[in-house]
Chain A
């Protein structure tokens, strides 16, 4: 008989897959299971770990962890669901295959190869978040030490809250020399903005217009100050500063549903990059994979009843985008999942934390390690694919059609949207590491006190937030950090994420979440 020693622990090294920083840490086990995380001082982040990394232990040990396939909320044997799936893929024209952001490069290659062998043509990524547009800026090898000799750093968004591991190098650099200029651009006042030498608070969603203006691009017929809310003298000052800088860096943390046109955001960044010579470094929640353009065509085929089944590989889709349920209602969905959710056929798979494979980070490719054993009953994506098809091969990368966008037209459209008076408040999303998947605390709605007073909302009240996709009750936090007419919420849980409106881009067919008009009333 084994003697249990409650003090005996094992530490298994893991790579955090929850953002593009790729920190290393240890998961601590004792004889009773997971007890927490340990900070590995020799790791890439020097042992430091943001709330997402700390939450890894809670995710691994989540009470809703899925360990058997589920159909109509009932457990099912693997053999039965595999038999069903084999029948489904035997008619490939009826089937679409999607994959979300939580897959490794090897799994991606396997999925594409499986589709090629099975004859499935409708394949798409479900990485719908605006940051997917930043993928083209991924440097091959970036190191945070590059910050040390920069003269100017431009921070777009709120990296200190979204990817907190970026904070130390940037703050140390800022404190080292008073000449070092830190410029922050955002539409709400964030913790990151608190460290800025110069904070450019733009009107919601108008960052792309500001990028064009900073890059001295001519935008005919657009009053840039009216559209962005930034004085032209300030724009000129910053533009001169970034043009004259010997070495500068642009860090991008594009929050959820912050801009109306993420594609134009990426175009604007590219112009700013070529104007200033500054390197663009994206810090994003996940790096994801190319190809969300194809999803719009899948929706189209679903509406025409040409596709009847959807197979999704990853951890989150379709559970995290409930607003898509209407578009996907006609489908029979089989989705790999790590937690129990209602409404879809679910296949239990390991978390990224439990996988061995390669992911893309801001600092290049990294291996997940696969040191942690997944729950019994789960099958890896490659195992599932092997069960469905004997001749699984390696496919070529998905190459969605590249469509050029009419930048001038988009700029005019965005300028119009930004100055049009809105009837309702506009909801924007935030990505805050502490709110990761709602593990530590639920979302709270940030609201300007003047808006709150008009609606009879006071401190400690709850408010009903209603969009065309649904309604959620949230506690209200009154703050001047958000301007009048704007409300902000960390978009982490499906119920809150489900409020946001999505738009299929007419130019390149990508799906993006945008600032959303909401009605707000005090909850009695």
Chain B
């Protein structure tokens, strides 16, 4: 995959702009969900497009496929029967169990949009970023979660 969605936990303010952008673009599907670890962090749950996706393995009708060239794990709306197997199989809880129009809510990384995913574009605080592997290597992310001192990683 050339680029991926990266979350900087230091920045997320829990406004759910990402989820709203997704729901508007995909007619009610919240393909990115929003979690809240009480008192610690807000956590947008974006699909990781795993190399060995369990959602794909669990799909009884092969509605979910992995594109070997792009690394995208995509669901076909025409084939999906809404059995929710993918939602229960996802180890990260990214796929929301309730169905929308009788199909599962599976992220496609906005393949229809050249500039990248809408959730990243909408993100009000800049917590969601669209980065390549090299950019991720250079980037310190999310130290607030593991630090007792809030905002530890940004040195004065």
Residues of A within 8 A of B (CB): 36-37, 39, 45, 47-51, 53-55, 57-58, 160-161, 164-165, 167-168, 171-172, 174-179, 191-192, 194-195, 197, 433-434, 440, 479-480
B123: chain A residues at CB < 8 Å are 48
- Determine if B146 is an interface residue (Cβ-Cβ < 8 Å): no
**A165 in contact with B124 (CB, 8 Å):** yes
Question: Besides the contacts A49-B21, A49-B122, what 18 more A-B pairs have beta carbons closer than 8 Å?
Answer: A37-B24, A39-B118, A45-B124, A47-B121, A48-B121, A50-B15, A50-B124, A164-B17, A164-B124, A167-B15, A171-B13, A175-B10, A175-B154, A178-B156, A179-B156, A197-B150, A434-B20, A440-B16
Cβ of B140 to closest chain A Cβ, rounded Å: 11
Residue of A nearest to B149 (CB): A178
Cβ of B40 to closest chain A Cβ, rounded Å: 9
* CB-based closest 4 A-B pairs: A51-B20, A164-B15, A164-B124, A39-B121
B10: chain A residues at CB < 8 Å are 171, 175
Q: What is the bound-complex CA distance between A190 and B143, given in angstroms?
A: 21
Known: A39-B121, A165-B124, A167-B124. A191 touches B17 (CB 8 A): no
Q: What is the bound-complex CA distance between A175 and B154, given in angstroms?
A: 6
Of the A-B pairs whose beta carbons lie under 8 Å apart in the complex, a sample of 15, sorted by A's number, is: A36-B24, A45-B124, A49-B17, A50-B122, A51-B16, A51-B17, A160-B13, A160-B15, A160-B125, A172-B126, A175-B151, A191-B14, A191-B42, A434-B16, A440-B20
* Chain A CB within 10 Å, residue with most, of B23, B125, B150, B156: B125
B24: chain A residues at CB < 8 Å are 36-37, 54-55, 57-58
Q: What is the bound-complex CA distance between A493 and B24, given in angstroms?
A: 19
Cβ of B127 to closest chain A Cβ, rounded Å: 9
B42: chain A residues at CB < 8 Å are 191, 194
- Determine if B54 is an interface residue (Cβ-Cβ < 8 Å): no
Residues of B within 8 A of A (CB): 10-11, 13-17, 19-21, 23-25, 38-39, 42, 115, 118, 121-126, 150-151, 154-156
A165: chain B residues at CB < 8 Å are 124
Q: What is the bound-complex CA distance between A171 and B42, given in angstroms?
A: 14
Cβ of B51 to closest chain A Cβ, rounded Å: 29
Cβ of B119 to closest chain A Cβ, rounded Å: 10
Q: What is the bound-complex CA distance between A179 and B155, given in angstroms?
A: 10
Q: What is the bound-complex CA distance between A176 and B156, given in angstroms?
A: 6
Q: What is the bound-complex CA distance between A427 and B10, given in angstroms?
A: 32
**A434 in contact with B124 (CB, 8 Å):** no
Residue of A nearest to B16 (CB): A434
B11: chain A residues at CB < 8 Å are 168, 171
Q: What is the bound-complex CA distance between A108 and B38, given in angstroms?
A: 45
Known: A49-B21, A177-B156, A179-B156. A160 touches B118 (CB 8 A): no
Cβ of A383 to closest chain B Cβ, rounded Å: 30
Q: What is the bound-complex CA distance between A218 and B126, given in angstroms?
A: 43
**B14 in contact with A161 (CB, 8 Å):** yes
Q: What is the bound-complex CA distance between A501 and B155, given in angstroms?
A: 48
Cβ of B63 to closest chain A Cβ, rounded Å: 22
**A55 in contact with B14 (CB, 8 Å):** no
A434: chain B residues at CB < 8 Å are 15-17, 19-20
B155: chain A residues at CB < 8 Å are 178
Known: A165-B124, A167-B125. A440 touches B13 (CB 8 A): no
**B151 in contact with A54 (CB, 8 Å):** no
**A48 in contact with B124 (CB, 8 Å):** yes
Known: A164-B15, A440-B23. A54 touches B122 (CB 8 A): yes
Q: What is the bound-complex CA distance between A37 and B150, given in angstroms?
A: 35
Known: A39-B121, A167-B125. A50 touches B17 (CB 8 A): yes
A195: chain B residues at CB < 8 Å are 13, 150
**A433 in contact with B13 (CB, 8 Å):** no
**B39 in contact with A194 (CB, 8 Å):** yes
**A50 in contact with B20 (CB, 8 Å):** yes
**A54 in contact with B121 (CB, 8 Å):** no
Cβ of B116 to closest chain A Cβ, rounded Å: 10
Residue of B nearest to A45 (CB): B124
Known: A39-B118, A179-B156. A164 touches B21 (CB 8 A): no
**A433 in contact with B23 (CB, 8 Å):** no
**B38 in contact with A55 (CB, 8 Å):** no
Known: A49-B17, A51-B17. A36 touches B25 (CB 8 A): yes
Cβ of A55 to closest chain B Cβ, rounded Å: 7
Q: What is the bound-complex CA distance between A239 and B14, given in angstroms?
A: 30
Q: What is the bound-complex CA distance between A54 and B16, given in angstroms?
A: 11
Cβ of A171 to closest chain B Cβ, rounded Å: 6
B16: chain A residues at CB < 8 Å are 51, 433-434, 440
Q: What is the bound-complex CA distance between A55 and B123, given in angstroms?
A: 14
Known: A175-B10, A195-B13, A433-B17. A39 touches B122 (CB 8 A): yes
**A48 in contact with B122 (CB, 8 Å):** yes
Q: What is the bound-complex CA distance between A55 and B20, given in angstroms?
A: 7
* Chain B CB within 10 Å, residue with most, of A49, A54, A55: A54
B151: chain A residues at CB < 8 Å are 174-175, 178
* Chain A CB within 10 Å, residue with most, of B11, B38, B124, B150: B124
* Chain A CB within 10 Å, residue with most, of B15, B125, B150, B156: B15
Cβ of B69 to closest chain A Cβ, rounded Å: 22
Q: What is the bound-complex CA distance between A45 and B122, given in angstroms?
A: 10
Cβ of A369 to closest chain B Cβ, rounded Å: 20
Q: What is the bound-complex CA distance between A167 and B13, given in angstroms?
A: 7
Q: What is the bound-complex CA distance between A192 and B125, given in angstroms?
A: 12
